[in-house]
Each structure stands twice: as structure tokens, then as C-alpha cells.
Structure 1
Amino acid sequence: MTKHRLLTKIFSSGLQAISVQVLGAFFFYFISVYLSKYDFGVISWTNAVSILITTVLGFGLEQVVVRRVAASRQSDWAATAFFIHSITGFLITFLFLLLLNNIMGTKAGLYKQLPWFFLAQGLIFIGVPLKQFLNAKEKFTPYGVISIISNIGKIAAAWLLLKQGILYINTVLAILICAGVFELVGLLVYLLAKTSFDLKFRFKAYIKLIRESSAQYISVIFDISLSRMDWILLGIMTSTSILADYSFAYRAYELSRLPMLIIAPIILPRFARLLSGNGNINIEYQKYITAFNVVELFFAALIPLILNILWVPVISLITHGKYGSSNSLQFLILSGCIPLQFFINLLWSISFAAKKYKSVSIVTIVCAVTNVCLNLILIPRFGGLGAATAFLGTTLLQALLYYRLVNRQITLISIWPILIFTAEAVGVYFASIQLKINFLLQGLFAVFLYMLITILTRQITRVHINNFKNLLNK
């Protein structure tokens, strides 16, 4: 792959990630400011439950389909099988939720909105096989463009409704459903017109795909519980206002992982091709992976350093004091997961590409059970802080288990970069906040000091950067 093609891949993957994460986050920021904390908490809770349901319906097919389509052009049928599977599962579940809501009647309470938010999330779920087909082919731009139009439309619609004085939960829901329909139709039209994707369903091949994905199905269900079970339990065990504070901080944490989300769909197909043969990694690739680990963790530790310095003054300003101070400690704890998530993403990509499905499932199940237990213990006593602490503890456990898995069964990955860069970022943070200067100057000082320390101690060098690029060029 030439340098030009690599930059094109990164740009197109970044376009997709920005459209989904940044514009999507801006939409939720907008409604979080102009809706009450109660209403925003309801939206957060119903979205979390809907995502959990669609994950259960996905049967673990998403990652398997990406790996299959990326590894061989003969496996394009897998995306079609997943698409038909998604439509069927969505329709059955939506009708069931409507029936259940009708039976509960006035007792539905918080659950009254669930079928309709599931409808919005379900439309996105149906489009996942189409998006993953493009990702496996490393064609990131089409969905990026569709998503940009969709998210800008959502933001514009919310602004117009606000001006008309009719921005409520039901109108937000209507926006989400319309956006879901637009994205699904746009993806389907593009794939049928511009790619080799077809709607021919092969039942026997589908059964084979189900059997392959079943090895990690439980893992996928438990995996989503790591990122949404705290939301669900907060909504049940505390108040929607507490959930609103936590979900706002959590969405900011998710947005801060944007660089990882850009690079993740680029490295997975490479590892899938690399490990599709005998599963061994040669010395040259080992050198590239080591450099990749160093470079990405250098930036991963820098992200929470900057964001925590800016959090209170910036968030308080843009939300008119609604958020910022009220959830600063929650965000501080959650942001400690950022370097760990970058590290986990590399380890998971290698493990999944090497088909270590059973081992990945064991890691995920252990972490998910630990997360639920910690949440049940900590949420009743500490609320959102308890949920954030449970998530940090679980993420640390997950990183250690994946590190053990990869180093024992696949290849050697050093743990020192994440320890060193994180320790330096913590030290620089405390040094920076002691300065009695404007928060922007504090941020600039922190960046300068962090980079100066890492460069002078040669923890990151030009060789690391070149080998980082070489891995992406393969």
C-alpha cells in the first residue's frame, strides 16, 4: 500500500468515526443541555437497554463477518446472511416489546418509551451488516458521508424544534427514527448499486456462520454489558438525574477514544490477513507491532491529561453550568480507562484475528461478571462515582487478562509503555493544575512538559514512528 493509499484509508476511516462519534456526541450534547436531566436520563437508559437487546440479537456475527469478508472475497455471502438475520430478529423483538408495553398499560412507567427507542436503535442494527461489509473491504468513505448527512440533519432538526419550542422526548425520538431510516436506505442503495453485495440468502452457509459465531456469542453479550450495564443499573437503582450526569461523562469518555476508533477498522483486516495462515508473527511484524503499541499509547495517555485540565471550565461554559463540576470526578475516573482501552484494542485485535474465540470469551465473561458485581456493590453507596470506579476496575482487569492471553499464546507485547506513559501523564497533570494560570495555558504547559519528558528520555523515537507507519502500510 502506498503512502497516498494509507492516508486515504486513515482519512476515510476518520471521516466515518468523526461522523458517528463527534457529530453524534454533539447531537446528544445539544439535547442534554435543552432537555431536563430527567428526560435526558430516560433517553440514556432506553438507549442503553436497546443497545443491549440488539447485541443479543446480533448473535456475535458482527466480528465474524468482518474477519471472513476481509480474509476472502469468496465470503461476501456472510454479510447478506447477517443482514437477513438482523431484519428477522429486529421485527420479532419490536413486535414483542409493543405487545409487552400494551399488556403493562399505565404501569409501564420508564419502560413506556422502550419500544420506540428500540425501533430507532434497531434500524441502526439492521444497517450494521452493510456497514461492516464496507469496512471489511476498507471502503470507509460511503458510510462516513451517509452518517455525516444523517447527523447534521439530526442536529438541524433538533435546533429547529427548539426554536419552535417543541423539543421534547417524543420529538427527539422522531428525529432518531428518521435518521435511522435514512442511514439504512442510503447504505442499502449504495451497496446494491456500487458493490458486489447481493441479497441472495444461503441457508446452509448461514447455519455454518451461526455455528462459527456461537463460540463467542456469550462473549459479545457480556462485552456490551461492560459498557452499558452500569447505565441500566443506575437507571434502576438510582434516579434518572444521576444517570444523566454519569451518561454525559461517559459519552465524553467514549468520544475521547476517537483516535482508537479511527485506527481499529484499519488494523483488524491486517491482523486477519497476517494470522490467516499458520498464526505465527515473524520478527519483522513483531517489531512493527511493538512500535505500534508504543506510539498509540504515547497519544492515549496524552488525551486524558488534556481533557481533565479542560473539563470543569469548558463543560461548565458550554452547558451553562448544568454539567462540569457535578460530574468532573466521574469523568476523571472514566478517563483513566482511555490508555487501557487503546491497549486492549490492540490485544483484542490480535487475539480475534488469531481465532482465539474461546479465550476471548472467557476474558469477556470474567470481566462482565466482575463489572456487574462491582456495580451492585458500589452504585447503591456511591451512585455515579461507584459506576465509574467499577468500570475502571473492570477495564484494568480486562487489560491484564488480554495481556496474559496474547503473551502466552500468540506474541510478545510489552506492558511497560502503558505503565510509563500513564505515570508520566498523572505526574504532569498534578504539576500543571498547581499553576495559578488560565486553564488554556495549563493545558499547553501540560502538553509541552509531557512531550519533552518522553522525547528526552527516548521513550518514543523516529524509529518507533516509522515502524508504526510500516505496520499500517502492510
Structure 2
Amino acid sequence: MNASIRSLAATWKTRVNRFVETHPNVKAIVSNVGWLSLDTIVRMLTGLFLGTWVARYLQPGYFGEINYALAIAALVGAPAGLGITDILIRDLVKRPQDAANLLGTAFFSRMAAALVSYAILAVYSLTLPNSLTRQLLLISALTLCTQALTVAGLRFKADLRSKQLVIAGNIGFAVSALVRIFLVLLRRPVVEFAWVAVIETGVAAVMTVIIYAQCYSDLPKWRFEPATASRLLGESWPLILSAVAVTTYMRIDQVMLAQMLGTKQVGLYTAATKLSEITYIVPSILSSVLLPSIVRSKALGPERYMARLQNYYDMSAGLAYLLIVPLSLGSSFIIHFLYGKVYESSSAVLTVQVWALLFVFLGAARDQFLIAEGFLKFSFFSTFLGAVLNIGINLFLIPRYGPLGAASATVIAFAITVVVCPYFYSSTRQMSLQLCRAIFFPFRIWMRLRPKRSLPV
């Protein structure tokens, strides 16, 4: 056993040394990950405490009502991001001298898309019979406009300067946290809680722009270039459709639960999903930080490139399992401790839904390969299939099993989208096999650490 551990440690030491040798900017990457990791931990812990406190105060009925409105806003507003985040980071790494052109075009394009989405939501809200849902929807949808300013933060990600981005985000998060605390203490109505997300994204966006102006001098040069917009949209339209598909199978379950069983069931379901979804930021951070490195690593040769991708997939799966096992086994205690007895039926949902984390983490890693290789259309088609499957499975399972059926549908759809679909496309078949290998990462580690038995003489 000790020899196996020493061998494994030596292997990883060699990999780390190779990584340092081939990455002269490794210190910047480590610093970047450090800042984003610290930010993630702070947000996860604070968000967990405040989120459960708010859920306890609102009770499943009102908690489900506000999340139902947020789900509708997310579905209609999904195209507003235009799917250009990772493409912009890639272009900023390759052509930093064009930052003003790229970011200016992205900002004005996103703002126009946000305004169109909000107008659609405003018209749709007139069809809602519940005036409370209508108010919550119109308020929540304002985040679409504030998020357009966040394109400034992509410059910091491309330059591996996440410290500034973390500062801006945490200021917005701190302000919104204080607002939530006061709303609960003063026992304010549910409508006022809808303003929290608007305040957080608005403050964070404004602070990002202020810090950007201090770090870079090209903010006044931001401009809209039709040619750049056409190129970005021409490349990103599969990602726009993919974002719509992703949002569909991330949020459609809440909408379908509300329409089939009522908003109280949405509250019980969301209480469980919030605990697992709060960790989704981890693979998002890893992917945004490592994308520049992934893009550059193609020049090192196919063997190095594929080996690095396998390491990335293994790391993603390992992190997912570290979260899945305790959350799944301790779901009853966790739900009762955090939410109270009124949410106790959410524990079964958490036990099932938390397994989606494995495919969320692997999916974020998979997307970096698809972007680096330019397989954006495949990203859309696989995600679209997952959304369709999720809707179909929800139609079958929700009437029979309620929130537990919705959780099962999410896990099945994620598994098919992330791992199964790539196998049927020749250019991504190797990636599918690598993802399958990553799923068994804990077993592979156990096999390496297991003491070898000598054959009988």
C-alpha cells in the first residue's frame, strides 16, 4: 500500500513539474484559481446560510412562487447572453489589442437582446392569472439588463486577473446579503425579495465597470462594430440555442411542477436543488480559468493535449464525487437541519438530484474541448436532445412521482447529453470514452492503491 501511494505521488509530481515547465504563466493561473476559489467558498457558505433562512421564512408556498417566476424569466431571457462568453475570452486571449471593439460590440449586442427579452416577458406577464407571479416576474427580469455590463469582467478572466473581478462581485453579493437579512428581520412581503437579485447583479456590474476603467484605458473607446457582431453571432448561434436548451432542462421542471402540482411543490423541489446547484459555480470557474490554457495546449501535440484533457475530466469527476457522496448519504439530516420539518420531503429529491453534479462537472469540462475544437454545433444538438428528453421524462414522471420524478428526469437528461451523445459523433467519440473513464476515476484510484496479491507458487 505504501509503495502504491509513493508511486501515485511520484506520478502526480511529474505531471505538476511538466505543467510548470510548459506554462510560464503558471503563477498567474494559480493566483487566478486561488482568488476565484476563495470567492466561491465565501459565496457558497454565505449563500447557503441566507438562502435557507429565506426559505424558512417564506415557507414552501411563497418560496415556490418566487422561484416559479425566476424560472420563467430565465427561460425567456436565456438568449439574452448571446452565447458569446467563452468565444470572447478566447478572442481576448488571441487578440488583446481588439478588446475595445470586442467588448463594446458585446455590450451593445447584449443590451439590445436583454431589452427585447424583457419586452417579451412584459407581454407574457399579462396572460398570468396570478398578480403576485406577474409582479415577481417583471421585477426578476430586470437582471437581464444589468447583466449586459458584466462583459467587462471577461477582460479580467482573459488576462488572468480575477482578483479585480472577485472584488466587484463580492461587493454586489455583500449588498444583496444585507438586503436579504433586513427583509427577513423586518418580515417584509415576498415581492421585495425579488429585488435582491436585481440589486446584486446591478451593484456587481457597476463595480466591474468602475474597476475596469481603473485598470484599462480603453473603456471610452468601446463601440459597436456591425462586422464584429455579425462574426460573433455567426459563430455563437449554436451556443445561443444551446443556452436556451440548457436553461430549458435546468428550469422547465419548476415550470412544469407549478403548472401540474402547484407552486408549493416547486418550493419543496427547489429547496433540494438549491443545495446542489450552489456548487455549479465550481466547474464554471474551473472552465473559465482553464480555457486559455486548453486553447494554448493544442500546440504541444495531440498526446499532451489529450492527456491534459483526461486530467481535467478526472479532476472534474473527483470534485463532483467529493460533493455527491456526503450530500446523498446525509440528505435527510441536511434538509431537516437547514430547512426545518416543513421541508422534510425535499430530502428524497436531494438524494437523487445531487447525482446530476457528476454530469454538470463533466459537462463543463467537455464544453472546453468543444470550444477549443470548434464543435459548437454539436454542443447545441446534444444539449437540445437533452432538453427534449427532460421535457418528455418530466411529462411521464412528474404526475406519478412529483418532485422526485423531476429530479430523476434531470439526472437522466444530463447523463445522456454529456456522456452518451458524443459517442455517436466520430470527432467526439474519443472524448466520450475519456468522460466514461473519468466517471470511474475513484475506482481507478482504488485499483492503484490496492495492494497487489502475489501469485501462489
Give the TM-score band, short-chain normalised: 0.7 to 0.9
Match 1:456 to one of 435, 441, 449: 449
Deviations 1:290-337 (A, max 9, x none): 3333343233223211222332223312323233x3112211111112
Match 2:374 to one of 328, 348, 355: 355
For 2:425 and 2:92, the matched residues in 1 are separated by 24
Match 1:88 to one of 112, 117, 127: 112
Percent identical among aligned pairs is 16
Q: Is the 8 A contact 2:389 2:413 kept in 1?
A: yes
Match 1:58 to one of 81, 90, 95: 81
TM-aligned CA distance change 1:105 to 1:5, over 3 Å: closer
2:192 counterpart residue number: 171
TM-superposed CA distance for 1:372, in Å, is 1.2
1:392 counterpart residue number: 411
2:320 counterpart residue number: 300
Q: Is the 8 A contact 1:48 1:231 kept in 2?
A: yes
TM-aligned CA distance change 1:389 to 1:409, over 3 Å: closer
Matches within 5 A, 1:65-464: 65-76=88-99, 77-98=101-122, 101=125, 108=131, 110-119=133-142, 121-166=143-188, 168-195=189-216, 196-197=218-219, 198-275=221-298, 281-323=301-343, 325-401=344-420, 403-404=422-423, 408-409=427-428, 413-415=433-435, 417-421=437-441, 453=446, 456-457=449-450
1:470 counterpart residue number: none
TM-aligned CA distance change 1:298 to 1:417, over 3 Å: farther
TM-superposed CA distance for 1:384, in Å, is 0.6
Amino acid at match of 1:154: S
**What is the TM-score when the length of structure 1 is the normalising length?**
0.81
2:18 counterpart residue number: none
For 2:124 and 2:367, the matched residues in 1 are separated by 38
For 2:441 and 2:257, the matched residues in 1 are separated by 32
TM-superposed CA distance for 1:32, in Å, is 0.7
Q: What is the aligned residue count?
A: 425
TM-aligned CA distance change 1:215 to 1:340, over 3 Å: closer
For 1:162 and 1:131, the matched residues in 2 are separated by 31
Q: Is the 8 A contact 2:80 2:144 kept in 1?
A: no
TM-superposed CA distance for 1:122, in Å, is 1.6
TM-superposed CA distance for 1:419, in Å, is 4.2
Runs (5+) with no aligned partner, structure 1:
425-449, 460-474
For 1:105 and 1:4, the matched residues in 2 are separated by 53
For 2:313 and 2:115, the matched residues in 1 are separated by 42
For 2:45 and 2:132, the matched residues in 1 are separated by 32
Q: Is the 8 A contact 1:234 1:243 kept in 2?
A: yes
TM-superposed CA distance for 1:244, in Å, is 0.8
For 2:358 and 2:71, the matched residues in 1 are separated by 24
**What is the TM-score when the length of structure 2 is the normalising length?**
0.83
Runs (5+) with no aligned partner, structure 2:
1-23, 453-457
Deviations 1:364-385 (A, max 9, x none): 1111111111112211221111
TM-superposed CA distance for 1:105, in Å, is 8.6
1:427 counterpart residue number: none
For 2:340 and 2:187, the matched residues in 1 are separated by 19
SS in 2 for 1:35: helix
SS in 2 for 1:322: helix
SS in 1 for 2:278: helix
For 1:21 and 1:81, the matched residues in 2 are separated by 33
Q: Is the 8 A contact 1:40 1:244 kept in 2?
A: yes
TM-aligned CA distance change 1:94 to 1:286, over 3 Å: closer
Q: Is the 8 A contact 1:351 1:406 kept in 2?
A: no
SS in 1 for 2:194: helix
Amino acid at match of 2:244: I
Q: Is the 8 A contact 2:273 2:353 kept in 1?
A: yes
TM-superposed CA distance for 1:104, in Å, is 5.1
TM-superposed CA distance for 1:414, in Å, is 2.8
TM-superposed CA distance for 1:11, in Å, is 1.0
For 2:123 and 2:245, the matched residues in 1 are separated by 27
Amino acid at match of 1:372: I
Deviations 1:250-296 (A, max 9, x none): 11111234542331212222223334x7xx94222333333333343
Q: Is the 8 A contact 1:17 1:144 kept in 2?
A: no
- Residue range with higher mean Cα deviation, 393-402 or 41-50: 393-402
Deviations 1:42-77 (A, max 9, x none): 111111222222212223223322222233214422
TM-aligned CA distance change 1:364 to 1:384, over 3 Å: same
For 2:399 and 2:256, the matched residues in 1 are separated by 10
For 1:46 and 1:36, the matched residues in 2 are separated by 16
SS in 1 for 2:54: helix
